[in-house]
């Protein structure tokens, strides 16, 4: 080999900042080839990243290293090792078994006739082919540089594709909390790809989505969404996540309401009309930011906050709708001796029953918000009947039964899914599994599952609390009564689900008590 190959010099590199590295796998059965390659490329750098060398001395070792390091950028691959085509089999393994189309494969051979260049390039998806005798230090530098540029661009395109896929997927239901996190995660991936940095990025805020974590102190920041080191850190205070040096940069960005650039990361302030604002953190910058990239970051910071606040406003609207349902239901309940906490308990009891029964999270939440409307029809029942402590006469009982139809008629014409569910519950929650209920004598699965759940929740809560016509029952008495009504008043499967979550239901009663304590 020539002296140029062994002793080519490179300019000195400032090692004050660690920008990461590019992984290069050397596959060759000659130890001297490993040593010479490392020596020739010792001072190589691209985008402020040095090379990290990984050695394998056979095709079998190469496969193990490729499995352990999926982020290898370049493979310098010998052809003849333990077998005449060991290197070619490694190349085939990379493309066909690992399905890795990103890594750049440079075939180096000391016996060009053993593996003809044209056939190898066509058949094995090799990116470059070099004879060891022609591979001087300068040519090695050139081929590594061109291969890394290709690898960088391919990875950047793949990251952009993944980010775009996440954004498209999230746009189907952008304004739910989960999809917003997914949306921001996708945008973070797009931004890190455009900037050519690593995957460590996050958005933090002093106010998460409406109805969850909120604080009046702008310095109490929480992770809203993140990737890389910040993946699965959502909801955690940044004081528990960040190093002191990073915290200082976050405080500076918050105080200046601007973008703070450091050696290899940035913290961008995202302005807000409704909150103290949010902060965007991205690390692994490849070098000084150009003006175009700075403009991109500024635009991104503005637009992310707009999308974030749209979600907050949507949640505020939803919370307002739910509160109206609660207050309407409480107004009806206050006409009787039952307290408003009855409707809150019914909501949470129905949620737990729905989940135990096997309904989806969406349906469980829908019945939770709709169940408080189950007795809204009592607004049409006279006080003398509604609050009568003695047994009702036959005529009075007929009037009392009309509250199911009254409630249904009040709610039935709404186009809102929660109100529609409330109408069904109001109409059918006094129907019984064996068909002996009212108002229509429905039986079995002809009764909507929401109504079957609400019926059991209503009876459980009513029995466990004092009413004008009875004292509170003990838990043992309630369990015995509900069990005796399995197959009669209640669906057997529903009763079985109820028994599983009794401890959770009892906790709900303790959390939302009436003025009169629950009986032990």
- Which positions ≥6 away from 138 have C-beta within 8 Å? 4, 8
Identify the bridge partners of residue 280 per DSSP, sorted by sequence position: 203, 268
Q: What b/e string do you get for 363-379 counting C-beta neighbours within 10 Å, with b at 16 or more?
A: bbbbbbbbbbbbbbbbe
CATH class assigned to 334-511: mainly alpha
pLDDT for 209 equals 37
Which residue from 82, 83, 80, 89 is spatially nearest to 126, judged by alpha carbons?
89
Max distance between CA atoms of the chain, in angstroms, equals 112
Each residue's pLDDT, cut to its tens digit, for the chain (520 residues) gives 444 444 344 444 444 455 689 999 999 999 999 999 999 999 999 988 999 999 999 999 999 999 999 999 999 999 889 998 899 999 999 999 999 999 999 998 877 666 677 777 778 888 998 888 778 889 999 999 999 999 999 988 887 777 666 655 545 554 454 555 666 666 677 677 667 676 677 777 765 433 343 444 556 788 877 878 888 888 888 888 888 888 888 888 888 888 888 878 888 887 666 555 678 888 877 667 767 677 777 777 777 667 667 766 766 666 666 667 766 766 666 655 555 588 889 999 999 999 999 999 999 999 998 998 888 888 888 888 887 878 889 999 999 999 999 989 988 988 888 889 999 999 999 999 999 999 999 999 999 999 999 999 999 998 998 876 678 899 999 999 999 999 999 999 999 999 999 999 999 999 988 754 433 3
Distance CA 391, CA 131 (A): 102
- What are the catalytic residues? 378
Helices (H), 358-428: 361-370, 383-386, 394-401, 403-411, 417-428
Supply the pLDDT for residue 205. 72
Residue 78 C-beta-side C-alpha neighbours within 13 Å: 27
Beta strands 104-109 and 128-131, pairing class: parallel
Among 323, 319, 309, 330, CA closest to 374 = 330
Strands 222-227 and 201-205 come out as antiparallel
Cα-Cα-Cα-Cα dihedral sign, residues 73, 79, 85, 86:
negative
CB 451 within 8 A of CB 424: yes
| pLDDT value, residue 112 | 62
CATH match of 3-154 with 3.40.50.2300: yes
Helix (H, G, I), strand (E, B) or coil at 520: coil
Q: Which pLDDT belongs to residue 286? A: 67
Residues 127-149 as b or e (16 or more Cβ within 10 Å = b): bbbbebeebbbeebeebbeebbe
The CATH homologous superfamily to which domain 175-301 belongs is: GAF domain (3.30.450.40)
3-state secondary structure of 44: coil
d(CA 180, CA 186): 10
Of 349, 366, 397, the closest CA to residue 501 belongs to 349
Q: How deeply is 458 buried, as exposed, middle or buried, from its count of CB atoms within 10 A (0-12, 13-18, 19+)? A: buried
* Residue 328 DSSP SS3: helix
Distance between CA atoms of residues 128 and 76, nearest Å: 10
Between CA 328 and CA 16 the distance in angstroms is 65
Order of strands, edge to edge, in the sheet holding 21-27? 45-46, 49-56, 21-27, 72-78, 104-109, 128-131
pLDDT at position 165 is 66
Within 13 A of 109's CA, how many CA atoms are on the CB side? 20
Per-domain boundaries in the chain: 3-154, 175-301, 334-511
Structure tokens at 458: 């209503």
| Distance (Å, whole) CA 116 – CA 113 | 6
Q: Which runs of consecutive H residues, i.e. helices, occur in 416-464?
A: 417-428, 449-463
pLDDT of 246 reads 84
CA-nearest of 494, 179, 467 to 367 is 494
Round to whole Å and give the CA distance between 379 and 493: 33
Q: Which residues contact 353 (CB under 8 A, 6 or more apart)?
A: 453, 456, 457, 494, 497, 498, 501, 505
* Euclidean distance between CA atoms 205 and 312, whole angstroms: 12
Q: DSSP character for 518?
A: P
Tell me the sheet residues that pair with 77: 27, 107
Task: Look at residues 424, 454, 456 and name the one whose alpha carbon lies nearest to residue 440.
Answer: 424
Q: What is the DSSP letter of 95?
A: I
Give 396's contacts (C-beta < 8 A, 6+ positions apart).
385, 388
């Amino acid at each position: 080999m020539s002296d140029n190959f062994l002793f080519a010099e490179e300019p000195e590199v400032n090692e004050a900042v660690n920008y990461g590295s590019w992984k290069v796998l050397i596959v060759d059965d000659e130890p001297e080839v490993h040593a010479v390659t490392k020596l020739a490329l010792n001072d190589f750098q691209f985008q402020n990243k040095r090379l990290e060398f990984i050695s394998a001395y056979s095709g079998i070792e190469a496969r193990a290293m490729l499995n352990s390091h999926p982020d290898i950028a370049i493979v310098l691959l010998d052809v003849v090792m333990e077998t005449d085509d060991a290197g070619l089999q490694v190349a085939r393994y990379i493309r066909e078994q690992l399905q890795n189309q990103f890594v750049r494969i440079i075939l180096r051979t000391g016996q060009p006739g053993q593996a003809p260049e044209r056939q190898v390039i066509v058949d094995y998806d090799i990116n470059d082919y070099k004879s060891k005798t022609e591979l001087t230090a300068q040519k090695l530098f050139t081929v590594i540089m061109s291969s890394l540029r290709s690898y960088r661009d391919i990875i950047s395109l793949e990251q952009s594709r993944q980010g775009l896929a996440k954004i498209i997927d999230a746009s189907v239901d952008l304004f739910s909390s989960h999809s917003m996190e997914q949306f921001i995660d996708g945008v973070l991936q797009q931004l890190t790809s455009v900037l050519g940095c690593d995957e460590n990025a996050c958005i933090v805020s002093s106010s998460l989505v409406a109805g969850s974590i909120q604080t009046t102190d702008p310095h109490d920041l929480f992770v809203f969404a993140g990737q890389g080191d910040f993946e699965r850190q959502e909801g955690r205070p940044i004081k528990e996540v960040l190093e002191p040096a990073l915290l200082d940069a976050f405080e500076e960005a918050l105080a200046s309401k601007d973008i703070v650039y450091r050696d290899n990361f940035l913290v961008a302030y995202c302005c807000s009309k409704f909150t103290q604002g949010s902060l965007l953190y991205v690390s692994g910058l490849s070098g000084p930011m150009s003006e175009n990239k700075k403009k991109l970051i500024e635009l991104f910071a503005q637009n992310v906050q707009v999308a974030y606040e749209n979600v907050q406003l949507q949640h505020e609207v939803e919370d307002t709708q739910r509160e109206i349902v609660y207050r309407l239901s409480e107004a009806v309940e206050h006409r009787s001796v039952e307290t408003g906490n009855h409707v809150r308990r019914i909501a949470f009891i129905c949620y737990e029953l729905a989940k135990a029964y096997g309904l989806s999270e969406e349906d469980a939440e829908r019945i939770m918000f709709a169940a408080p409307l189950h007795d809204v029809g009592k607004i049409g029942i006279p006080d003398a009947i509604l609050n009568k402590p003695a047994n009702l006469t036959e005529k009075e009982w007929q009037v009392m039964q009309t509250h199911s139809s009254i409630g249904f008629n009040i709610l039935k014409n709404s186009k809102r899914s929660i109100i529609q569910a409330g109408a069904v519950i109001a109409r059918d929650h006094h129907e019984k599994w064996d068909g002996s209920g009212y108002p229509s004598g429905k039986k079995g699965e002809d009764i909507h599952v929401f109504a079957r759940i609400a019926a059991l929740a209503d009876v459980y809560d009513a029995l466990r609390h004092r009413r004008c016509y009875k004292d509170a029952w003990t838990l043992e008495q309630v369990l015995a009564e509900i069990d005796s009504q399995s197959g009669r008043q209640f669906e057997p499967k529903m009763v079985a689900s109820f028994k599983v979550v009794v401890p959770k239901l009892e906790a709900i009663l303790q959390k939302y008590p009436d003025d009169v304590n629950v009986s032990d």
